[in-house]
Amino acid sequence: GCAKQLAKQLDAIVVMVVNNLADPHARVRWAAVNTIGQMCTDFGPELQRGYHAQLMPALVRAMQDSSARVQGHSASAVINFCEHADQAVLEPYLEPTLGQLLALLQ
């Protein structure tokens, strides 16, 4: 169905969604984070394997957003990402991700 059609366009979708994380409006940034989290669930683990280099750094940056709602939702999206990711995919991002999560808790 729909997932098969969207899967064919993941390159363009990921670029568009990640670009929206830089939008001036917090609601757009929150929606972009929400989309990433949902995509991690719907397209995992292929999404994690193919797009980790774009998504994980973007989520870590989003956890530093000026909006607390975007920050918190980014942490939730990281959980969605990790649920379907292999250890080898996650390992390079552990230090910056855990560091940013710790900063949010302080």
Separation CA 62–CA 42 (nearest Å): 21
3 state DSSP class of 95: helix
Structure tokens at 104: 């949010």
Q: What does the pLDDT profile of the chain (106 residues) look like in tens digits?
A: 687 888 889 999 999 999 999 999 999 999 999 999 999 999 999 999 999 999 999 999 999 999 999 999 999 999 999 999 999 999 999 999 999 999 999 8
Separation CA 28–CA 88 (nearest Å): 31
- Per-residue pLDDT, 89: 96
Asked if residues 33 and 55 have their Cβ atoms less than 8 Å apart, the reply is no
- Per-residue pLDDT, 2: 81
Q: pTM value? A: 0.93
Separation CA 33–CA 78 (nearest Å): 9
